[in-house]
Amino acid sequence: MKTTSFRRVIVPGIAALALLVAGCGAGNEESSGDSSSDSGLSGTLNGGGASSQEKAQAAWRAGFQGDNPDATINYDPVGSGTGRENFINGAYSFAGTDSAINNDEGELDAATERCGDDVIQVPAYVSPIAVIYNLDGVDQLNLSAEVIANIFNGSITKWNDPAIADLNPDATLPGDTITPVHRQDDSGTTDNFTQYLAAAGNGAWKADPDGVWPAEYKGEAAEGTSGVVGAVTDGSGTIGYADASAAADLGVAAIQVGEEFNTPSAEGAAQVVANSPTVEGASPNDMAVDVDRTTTESGSYPLLLVSYLLACPTYDSAEEADLVKGYLTYVVSDAGQQAAADEAGSAPLDSSLSEQAASIIDAISSGS
């Protein structure tokens, strides 16, 4: 993970960050009916980060504000790296990140310093990452982690390459040039994608996993999830990666897991997370998961992201503390998780993870 600095920044357009995502329907004006949402809260809460959370955040915002009509929740999908930076800077009260905050670049220490105590990091959104493609005449595509790595590192350049053809004996693959599309911003989706390639790619991925695309591997760069999806859609012979909820009408590859080829599914992603350990040495406030990228368990889908929410254990004002506590409590509740599943196709948290997250969030308080 990379970050350019920890100076306090001005968040652009903060007054206009309220999410307006089409498709939320009548739920935008209705109460969630969940007792975990603290009715009667008021004020404005600013957060942002992982663009993969955008649809889920729209659903969470609608449900929470239905029970708390005097509260306004803003979420700016600027990408995980900027989200972490703005949380550390104090510009955001909470942040979403698809890469667990750690000390690779000193971010965990900086976040702890900002909060004055161990930063809260709880999983909020589990979703498969889809390998998306746009190739005329090819409706189904099987790929292994090694082949995906060789496509994105530039070793495989044609769609009818024998390595792809061997995995797709029933497909008619054209000799078109492959155009790989990657994120140009510091992205948790990129971090998770490269973690998968490094772990499962049989040595084909030489670069260290990171949220910033390695300079030695070329391709077309695009800003944010929507930028990658747009570039793949508008191109020909293009391939990219994005949160599965954003795949739209593009082709979605099945990835090799053991002897199977599995397409992205919330169930397959949840299965992997449930069988993965937590990060060793994490603080009691930190629920970061060490995802098993090399599982061969039937039905699993190890190309996934666990998207987290960052918060502080204490805040200067009671209003801010109450809003963060109330909103995050709703997010990890059964109602919040189901709202995200319905809107974004994510996998609801396992009940034990949800309960652990709720317990950590419940301790948020005002330091005044």
Q: Using DSSP, state whether 247 is helix, strand or coil.
A: coil
Name the CATH topology of 128-265.
D-Maltodextrin-Binding Protein; domain 2 (3.40.190)
- What angle do helix axes 334-344 and 318-332 make, rounded to 10 degrees? 70
Measured at the CA of 16, the angle between CA 13 and CA 20, to 5 degrees, comes to 130
Distance CA 69, CA 89 (A): 29
Q: How many Å separate Cα 52 from the centre of its chain? A: 4
Radius of gyration of the chain (CA): 20
- Strand runs labelled E in 163-233: 179-183, 220-222
**Per-residue pLDDT at 217:** 96
**Per-residue pLDDT at 14:** 32
**Per-residue pLDDT at 39:** 54
- Successive 10-residue mean pLDDT values, the chain, 368 residues: 31 33 35 46 96 94 96 95 96 95 91 96 94 97 98 98 98 97 93 97 96 95 95 98 93 97 94 89 93 96 96 97 98 96 90 93 90
**Per-residue pLDDT at 36:** 40
**Per-residue pLDDT at 103:** 87
Distance CA 60, CA 336 (A): 6
Beta strand pairing call for 220-222 and 179-183: parallel
Sorted by sequence, the CB contacts under 8 Å of residue 203 that are 6+ apart come out as none
Identify the CA nearest to 101 among candidates 307, 330, 347, 364: 307
Distance CA 319, CA 351 (A): 29
Comma-separated ranges of CATH 3.40.190.10 domains in the chain: 14-127+271-292+305-366, 128-265
Q: CATH 3.40.50.150: does it fit domain 14-127+271-292+305-366?
A: no
